[in-house]
Structure formats: structure tokens, C-alpha cells
């Protein structure tokens, strides 16, 4: 019983973790091509990141897209999840729910193409805006799930108590419900931010010039060369995302979100 | 009069609250599907021409084959691991959960680059094989279907493992002990107890993997290379290289239909299967 367990865990963990560890190792290597074992020690590749303009610009573009998209997604999901939680017997509830599961099922690359045609061509929307629309659609399911979960943890009694004591619905929601789901709010926003920051395929056909997100800049770089600059950047990004996910873990816990 | 208005408002309120997000989804997700079809001149014949085509069929079959292989590999790894982890100590459990979650936080692009480092001509695997003198020449692993499948396995494994683990955690030890004491062998225990109790979680994982492999772009394009194109890569090529937007629309519809039908079949298949029992 022990030995098969060790074998399966070793195999699985090495499949899961080596691809994350390898960029870290190679990012300090002196050699310009990928060689094993990595030779020497240099910080040159980390410096090189800043010589390549698209990366700095991409970081700013990605951060602002992720910030705006998470904000909009949370603003849209808050009333929607409230309705789904508080009005369990609503007519058309099935239809509404299946409309909300669509963005989760829709392949990002297909959505990207459809938004290129629709938002960019038909509506004359500028690129940055169609990027944000796409990212909102991608992250909205995550926001909804976290907020719905924290609303159901809270339950409806406390709100009803406030209403029966004379508050109107809106005030009760603002004063009683909102402070109590603060955690889900923060966790949901952080999750949305991270998902948007890491999303690649949705931006494929929607990024031009200055509004090119970081992952697209990296993809373009990878199509030309494999030198350790991309490894150094990956290392920084791993540090960035681990720090962010640590923040999420501290506020809500990741494990509860995926189920 | 005021009373009627108030009542009407109260009945409408939930719809009003849901309206902004519903409109967002309808305008920017559902309308574009129809717009895409309308935008393509003579959509039906373009669709037929794109799909009835040897290149398209072989790409489609490869996509399905890759998805099936990844699903199989994930099953073989996730079932035993979830079984063992599910009945191990809390410390070990949280260790495994963290380790499985960690990759989810890292950009898929970075992870694909990690695979390039591992599988490349002078990568980790080839230098290990050469060091052990297993091979004289570097083996070509990168830019094969295998590389693509490994990358996708790593990408989607957590989505199979987590639901399986929570199903295993809910399974009581007594049932297994009872079966064992009544003389059931490992295979019988798996088929008659573990499988039915974990089927729901398994199907969730399965649909994520099959749909995900049909729709993934970054991992297959970086690891599979041009010769091993999948549906999403073909879509990209139609848009960016061949500038054939009609064929792109047809491919997009096929990807969408594949993903949706995988999900529908698996969810309803299980519901019907459970009812029949």
C-alpha cells in the first residue's frame, strides 16, 4: 500500500511542479540557450526584461485591464448572485442560471474572435474596451461563485431581521449584508484579478499597440526566441502570483472556491 | 394605485437586479454568436466547405484523440492519488492540496515554457537520458503530440483531482471495511463502491478536461508545434495567417459545439444513469 502511493505521488507532483521550478532555475544561468545543468550565476536576464519595452508596457496594460475587469465583474455579479440566492423560487430562474453558466463554457479563443468581429467591427468599439469586455466575461463566473458562496454562508436571516426592525431593503443590504460578506468581496476581486491577469487566449485577437497585455507580449517573444529572459520574467511572475494567491488564501481560502 | 405600483415593483425587483449582468451576457456573448454567422457571407456553404475537408477532419480527430489521452492519463493518476490522500493525515492532505493548487496560480504560458525547458533537445529530460547513457542522440519529444498531452495534463489535472478528492473524503471507511470483510477483491470494491460514490466528481473533472483540451490554445501551440495542430490552432491560423474569416467562423462554431455537447452529454448522461439505478 505504501509503495504505490509514493510512486503515484512522486510522479504526479513532479509532473505538476517541475514546469514551475525549471524557469526559476534557468533564469540565473549564464548560457544563452537552455542547457543542463544550468551554468554560473547571473542577474543579466532580469535586467534584460526592462530592455524589452513590450514587457513593461504589457505589465501596465495587464494590470489596468485586470483591475477594471474585476471591478466591473464584481459590480455585475453582486446583484445577480444576490437574486439567485435570495429568490430561490423565481420564475425563469433556470434560464437565468444557464445564461450565467455560458461564459464559463465558452472557449476563450472563440469569444476573442467573436468580440473582434462584434465589438471591434460592428460597434466600432476601440480595442482596449473590447479587451475589457472579454476579460469581464472570462472572470465573471469566478466572481459570482465566490460572492454566491459568501452570501449562502451568511444566510438571509440577518437581513430579514434588519428589515423587520424597520430598515428598507437597500439600507439593510448596505449596512448589514455588505459588511458581512466583505471577505468574499475581497477574495472574489483578487481571484478575478488573477484570472484576468493570467488569461491569454481571450486577448489573442483583441490586442494592438499599447493595449497589448503582458501574456500576449510574452507569447510573441516566445515565438521568436527561448533565451532566459522569458525565464526571468516567468520567475518574477511566479513570485507575483504566489504573493497574490497568498493574499487570497489569507482572506478566503482557495480550496473552498474551486468546488 | 400606489399599492399596485409597489407590488409590481416588488415582483420586478429581482429581475431588475439581475438585468445588468444578463444584458451584458446577452449583448456581448450570445449576440456575437449570431453576428458571427450573419457576418459570414453564405454561412451554410462556407461551413460545409470548411468542415468536409481532409485537413479539417484530421485536425478534429487529433483534437479528440489528445483530449481522450489526457483524460485517460489524468484518470490513471488522479484516482489512486485521491484515494490515498483522501484517507491520509490532515497534514498530508493540506500538503497535497497546496501542491496541486500552486500550479493553478501560475500563468499557463509560464508552465508551457517550463515544459519547453524540460522536453527540449538539450532540455532536462534529454540531458538526464544522455547522462544515464540511455540514448546516444537527443530524443525528439518537444513538438510531438506527447509534449502537448503532458502540458495539457499538467494544466487540467487539478480540476480532476479536487472533485475526486472531496468525493473520496466523504466516503466512509466502514463501507470499504464491510466490503473487504465480506470478501470483495480490490476490483470489485472499486467497481461497486468507489466508482459509484465518486462518479459525480469524476464526471465534473472529465468534462473540464475534454472541453478544455478542445478549446486550449497556448499549451498546444507552444508544445505541439505546427505539424500537430489542434482545432484552436487551426482557428488562429484561419484568422491570423490565411485571413479566411468565413472558415474561422465555421471552426469557431465547431469548437463551441464540441465543448457544449461534451458538457451536456456528461452532465445529463450521469443524471440519467443515476436515475436508472
> Residue A19, exposed/middle/buried by CB under 10 A (0-12, 13-18, 19+)?
buried
Q: Among A179, A176, A154, A178, which Cα is nearest to A165's?
A: A176
Task: Enter the DSSP assignment of A17.
Answer: H
Q: What does the block give as the cell for B122?
A: 538539450
- Is the residue at A17 inside a domain? no
Residue of B nearest to A92 (CA): B15
Q: Which of B95, B228, B7 is nearest to A17 (CA)?
A: B95
Contact state of B255 with A107 under an 8 Å Cβ cutoff: yes
Tell me whether residues B236 and A204 touch, CB distance under 8 A. yes
Report CB contact under 8 Å: A198, B127.
Answer: no
User: Could B102 and A26 be called an inter-chain contact, meaning their C-beta atoms sit closer than 8 Å?
Assistant: no
Q: How many CA atoms lie within 13 A of B25 on its CB side?
A: 24
Mean pLDDT for the stretch of residues A147-170: 84
Q: How far is CA B252 from the centre of its chain?
A: 17
Residue whose C-alpha is closest to residue A130's, from A57, A62, A211, A74 = A211
What cell was used for B50? 470548411
What pTM did the predictor assign?
0.90
Instruction: Say how far apart CA B169 and CA B166 lie, in whole Å.
Output: 5
pLDDT at B69: 96
**Containing structural domain, residue A213:** 23-258
Nearest CA to B214 out of B263, B146, B141 is that of B263
Q: Is the separation of the CB atoms in A18 and B118 below 8 Å? A: yes
Could you give the CA distance from residue A50 to residue A127 in angstroms, rounded to a whole number? 25
Domain ranges of chain B: 1-39, 50-107+140-276
Where is B179: in which H helix or E strand? helix B173-181
Condensed to tens digits (0 to 9), the pLDDT of residues A192-241 reads 998 999 899 999 988 876 778 999 999 988 888 777 888 888 888 878 87
With beta carbons less than 8 A apart as the criterion, state whether B150 and A63 touch.
no
Average pLDDT of adjacent 10-residue blocks, chain B of 277 residues: 78 86 92 89 88 92 95 94 89 89 85 90 84 82 91 94 90 84 84 86 91 92 89 93 90 94 86 69
Q: Taking CA atoms, what residue in B is nearest to A93?
A: B15
CATH number for the domain that contains residue A209? 1.10.3720.10
Closest CA–CA distance from residue B21 to any residue of chain A (Å): 5
| Interface contact flag, B77 A8, Cβ < 8 Å | yes
Exposure string of B236-271, with b = 16+ CB inside 10 Å and e = fewer, is bbbbeeeeebbbbbbbbbbbbebbeebbeebeeebe
A251: pLDDT strictly greater than 80:
no
Helix, strand or coil, per DSSP, at residue B121: coil
pLDDT at A252: 60
Q: Please report residues of B whose CB lies closer than 8 A to that of A8.
A: 77, 80-81, 84
> Is A3 inside a domain boundary?
no
Rounded to a whole number of angstroms, the distance from the CA of A216 to the nearest CA of chain B is 9
Of 1.10.3720.10, 1.20.810.10, 3.40.50.720, 3.40.50.2300, the CATH number of B50-107+140-276 is 1.10.3720.10
Q: Assign B138 to helix, strand or coil.
A: coil
Q: What is the DSSP string of B189-242?
A: HIIIIIHHHHHHHHHHHHHHHHHHHHH--HHHHHHTTGGG--HHHHHHHHHHTS
Do B120 and A20 make contact, defined as CB atoms within 8 angstroms? Answer: no
Question: A5 in a domain, yes or no?
Answer: no
ipTM of the complex: 0.90
pLDDT exceeds 60 at position A183: yes
Pairs of residues, one from chain A and one from chain B, whose beta carbons lie less than 8 Å apart: 237
Amino acid at each position: 500500500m505504501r509503495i504505490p502511493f509514493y510512486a503515484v505521488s512522486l510522479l504526479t507532483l513532479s509532473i505538476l511542479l517541475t514546469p514551475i521550478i525549471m524557469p526559476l532555475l534557468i533564469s540565473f544561468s549564464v548560457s544563452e540557450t537552455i542547457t543542463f545543468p544550468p551554468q554560473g550565476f547571473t542577474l543579466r536576464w532580469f535586467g534584460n526584461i526592462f530592455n524589452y519595452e513590450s514587457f513593461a508596457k504589457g505589465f501596465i496594460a495587464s494590470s489596468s485591464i485586470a483591475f477594471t475587469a474585476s471591478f466591473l465583474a464584481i459590480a455585475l455579479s453582486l446583484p445577480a448572485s444576490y437574486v439567485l440566492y435570495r429568490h430561490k423560487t423565481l420564475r425563469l430562474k433556470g434560464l437565468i442560471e444557464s445564461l450565467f453558466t455560458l461564459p464559463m463554457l465558452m472557449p476563450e479563443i472563440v469569444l476573442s474572435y467573436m468580440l473582434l468581429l462584434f465589438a471591434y467591427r460592428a460597434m466600432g468599439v476601440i480595442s482596449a474596451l473590447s479587451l475589457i469586455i472579454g476579460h469581464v466575461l472570462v472572470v465573471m463566473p469566478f466572481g459570482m461563485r465566490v460572492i454566491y458562496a459568501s452570501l449562502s454562508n451568511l444566510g438571509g436571516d440577518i437581513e430579514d431581521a434588519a428589515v423587520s426592525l424597520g430598515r428598507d431593503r437597500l439600507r439593510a443590504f448596505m449596512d448589514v449584508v455588505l459588511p458581512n460578506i466583505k471577505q468574499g468581496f475581497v477574495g472574489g476581486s483578487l481571484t478575478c484579478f488573477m484570472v484576468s491577469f493570467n488569461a491569454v487566449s481571450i486577448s489573442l485577437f483583441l490586442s494592438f499597440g499599447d493595449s497589448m497585455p503582458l501574456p500576449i507580449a510574452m507569447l510573441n517573444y516566445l515565438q521568436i526566441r527561448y533565451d532566459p529572459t522569458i525565464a526571468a520574467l516567468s520567475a518574477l511572475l511566479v513570485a507575483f502570483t504566489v504573493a497574490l494567491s497568498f493574499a487570497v488564501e489569507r482572506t478566503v481560502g482557495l480550496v473552498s472556491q474551486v468546488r | 394605485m400606489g399599492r399596485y405600483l409597489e407590488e409590481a415593483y416588488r415582483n420586478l425587483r429581482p429581475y431588475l437586479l439581475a438585468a445588468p449582468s444578463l444584458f451584458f451576457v446577452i449583448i456581448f456573448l450570445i449576440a456575437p454568436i449570431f453576428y458571427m454567422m450573419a457576418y459570414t457571407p453564405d454561412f451554410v456553404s462556407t461551413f460545409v466547405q470548411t468542415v468536409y475537408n481532409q485537413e479539417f477532419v484530421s485536425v478534429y480527430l487529433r483534437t479528440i484523440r489528445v483530449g481522450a489521452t489526457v483524460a485517460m492519463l489524468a484518470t490513471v493518476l488522479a484516482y489512486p492519488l485521491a484515494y490515498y490522500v483522501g484517507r491520509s493525515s490532515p497534514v498530508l492532505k493540506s500538503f497535497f492540496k497546496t501542491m496541486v493548487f500552486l500550479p493553478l496560480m501560475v500563468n499557463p504560458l509560464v508552465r508551457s515554457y517550463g515544459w519547453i525547458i524540460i522536453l527540449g533537445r538539450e532540455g532536462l529530460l534529454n540531458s538526464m537520458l544522455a547522462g544515464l547513457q540511455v540514448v546516444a542522440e537527443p530524443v525528439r519529444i518537444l513538438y510531438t503530440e506527447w509534449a502537448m498531452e503532458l502540458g495539457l495534463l499538467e494544466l487540467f489535472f487539478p480540476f480532476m483531482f479536487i472533485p475526486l478528492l472531496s468525493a473520496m473524503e466523504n466516503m466512509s471507511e466502514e463501507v470499504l471495511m464491510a466490503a473487504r470483510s465480506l470478501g470483495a477483491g480490490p476490483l470489485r470494491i472499486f467497481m461497486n463502491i468507489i466508482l459509484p460514490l465518486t462518479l459525480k466528481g469524476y464526471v465534473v473533472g472529465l468534462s473540464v478536461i475534454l472541453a478544455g483540451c478542445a478549446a486550449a490554445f497556448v499549451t498546444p501551440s507552444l508544445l505541439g508545434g505546427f505539424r500537430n495542430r489542434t482545432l484552436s490552432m487551426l482557428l488562429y491560423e484561419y484568422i491570423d495567417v490565411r485571413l479566411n474569416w468565413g472558415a474561422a467562423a465555421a471552426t469557431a462554431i465547431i469548437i463551441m459545439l464540441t465543448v457544449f455537447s461534451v458538457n451536456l452529454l456528461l452532465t445529463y448522461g450521469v443524471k440519467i444513469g443515476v436515475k436508472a439505478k
